[in-house]
Amino acid sequence: MKAPQAAPQMALGAGTLLAGIGFVWGAFQLSSDAGYAGVGPNFLPLVVGAMLCVCGVWLVWEAASGGFRNMEEPSGADRGDWRGFAWVSAGILANAALITTIGFILSCTLCFVLAARGFKEAEGERGIRLRALALDALVGLAISAPVFWMFTQLLSIGLPGLTSTGWL
């Protein structure tokens, strides 16, 4: 392995291992009282942390024993698309800011529309077309509404809604 590649690859492995250790540590800070299906709230973070630790150790070993093998040259542009990044970031921030105000369905639909616009920008599609926005909104609605209904109606998990009926 060439020396310039060794440090970033080792840093990636070490960062993954540290994230895993953080998840495991955080999981032990949560209550382990068994809840639904006999598992407590610390179960999933513990599993994720353990898997991150395994992956981190593996990545460190790969970097130390010759580097990541058979890597293809990266595809795509040399630089990130800042317009696309801004659209996707706006979608995520809008979702976080509006979910308790306009409800899960509408805020997730808006997030989808803005993220889709960002990906189109990154592909080089400039300009906003009304038909594309409407189609993205319908797709976002078709994804977010069934997810909301599944969580609220089938699993009885409370998500922010527009009304108190549990259907919007």
Question: Hey, is 65 helix, strand or coil?
Answer: coil
- Write down the domain spans for the chain: 3-64, 82-154
- Crossing angle of helices 43-64 and 3-29, in 10° steps, is 160
Q: What is the pLDDT of residue 110?
A: 97
Query: Are 148 and 109 a contacting pair, CB within 8 Å?
Result: no
Q: What's the full length of the chain, in residues? A: 168
Give the pLDDT of residue 130. 92
Specify the pLDDT at position 136. Answer: 96
As a dihedral over the C-alpha atoms of residue 53, residue 58, residue 64, residue 66, rounded to 10 degrees, the angle is -160
Q: Is the dihedral of CA 133, 137, 140, 143 positive or negative?
A: negative
Mean pLDDT split into 10-residue runs, the chain, 168 residues: 71 96 90 67 88 96 85 77 94 94 93 96 86 95 93 79 62
- φ, ψ of residue 113 to 5 degrees: the values are -60, -45
